[in-house]
């Protein structure tokens, strides 16, 4: 039997045709991949630019609160006869060149205890707008110690942003009576916090078991004194420390029956 020999001239063109088809298909596939990748890149870039531009036109600021990691701390004084008030501004602008052009809705709150309010800042063209916000803080269980309050203001529309600040509320008038067991006297120390007022009225009340030193300037300069009801009112300078000695009826006891309040 005679075997057939293939003609190389007929085989090679067929192989070349197959290789050409494969090459074209690969080129189309690679081209499609790069087209999709490039389109995805362009889309992402456009969206990022749009979002950055949109958020770049959003300004939610305050005169006291900030979104910085370093939270500002403010010190205020209060008598606690009533709830304390913390006031601040919320604004829809960074400066007069950067103003939000859409309404901003927000909620402001004081914690761990305090009120909360919600509101909105409406745009007014190129002119920045602001709103005064007041939050109330109820008296704590211990009115003689400083109270730390965290105030937050969070926008919910058109973008979420939170501003915050810490407020330390110290009593305008604080006092201590040193431990006095075994001593014939009890020493009362009164501290008045710094204030815009140069002086303030202070009322001192004491219980049975001791009597104040009547030669002390606090007593001598009292605007009113009622020994029968064991109370006196006097004017003391702010940002100052005072001491008044009480003579005890019994040295053995620890006398603590004195209270001091801002009048």
Distance, CA of 148 to chain centre: 10
* Shared domain check, 164 and 73: yes
For residue 120, the model assigns a pLDDT of 97
* Shared domain check, 96 and 51: no
Dmax over Cα atoms in the chain, in whole Å?
146
Instruction: Report the C-alpha gap between 211 and 225 in whole angstroms.
Output: 13
Looking at the domain assignment, is residue 119 inside a domain?
yes
* Residue bearing tokens 């003689």: 144
* Shared domain check, 77 and 178: no
Number of compact structural domains in the chain: 3
Range of the domain at 147: 61-170
Cβ-based burial of 74 (10 A; exposed 0-12, middle 13-18, buried ≥19): middle
Q: Give residue-wise pLDDT tens across range 135-164.
A: 999 999 988 889 999 999 999 999 999 999
Kindly report the CATH number assigned to the domain that includes residue 197: 2.60.40
Residue 130, H or E segment? strand 130-137
Those residues of the chain that have pLDDT short of 50 are: 1, 3, 6, 9, 11, 21-22, 33, 36, 38-39, 41-54
* Shared domain check, 78 and 52: no
Looking at the domain assignment, is residue 155 inside a domain?
yes
Instruction: Report the C-alpha gap between 168 and 193 in whole angstroms.
Output: 13
Asked whether the beta carbons of 190 and 260 are under 8 A apart, the reply is yes
The C-alpha angle 111, 115, 118, rounded to 5 degrees, equals 110
* Shared domain check, 115 and 23: no
Looking at the domain assignment, is residue 238 inside a domain?
yes
Which of 56, 74, 90 is a domain's end point? 56
55, 33, 161, 187: which is closest to 108 by C-alpha?
161
Residue 84's CB is within 10 A of a number of other CB atoms, namely 21
């Amino acid at each position: 039997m005679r075997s057939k020999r293939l003609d190389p001239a007929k085989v090679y063109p067929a192989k070349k045709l197959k290789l050409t088809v494969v090459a074209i298909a690969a080129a189309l596939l690679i081209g499609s991949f790069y087209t999709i990748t490039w389109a995805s890149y362009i889309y992402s870039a456009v969206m990022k630019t749009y979002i950055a531009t949109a958020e770049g036109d959003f300004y939610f600021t305050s005169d006291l609160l900030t979104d910085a990691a370093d939270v500002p701390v403010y010190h205020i004084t209060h008598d606690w006869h009533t709830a304390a008030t913390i006031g601040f501004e919320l604004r829809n602008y960074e400066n007069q060149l950067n103003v939000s052009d859409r309404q901003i809705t927000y909620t402001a709150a004081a914690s761990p205890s305090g009120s909360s309010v919600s509101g909105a800042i409406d745009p007014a063209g190129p002119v920045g707008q602001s709103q005064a916000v007041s939050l109330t803080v109820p008296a704590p269980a211990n009115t003689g110690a400083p109270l730390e309050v965290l105030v937050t203001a969070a926008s919910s529309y058109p973008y979420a942003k939170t501003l915050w600040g810490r407020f330390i509320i110290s009593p305008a008038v604080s006092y201590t009576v040193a431990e006095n067991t075994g001593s014939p006297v009890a020493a009362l120390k009164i501290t008045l916090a710094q204030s815009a007022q140069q002086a303030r009225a202070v009322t001192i009340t004491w219980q049975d078991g001791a009597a104040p030193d009547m030669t002390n300037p606090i007593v001598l300069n009292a605007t009113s004194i009622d020994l029968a009801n064991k109370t006196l009112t006097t004017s003391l300078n702010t940002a100052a420390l005072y001491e008044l000695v009480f003579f005890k009826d019994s040295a053995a006891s620890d006398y603590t029956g004195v209270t001091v309040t801002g009048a």
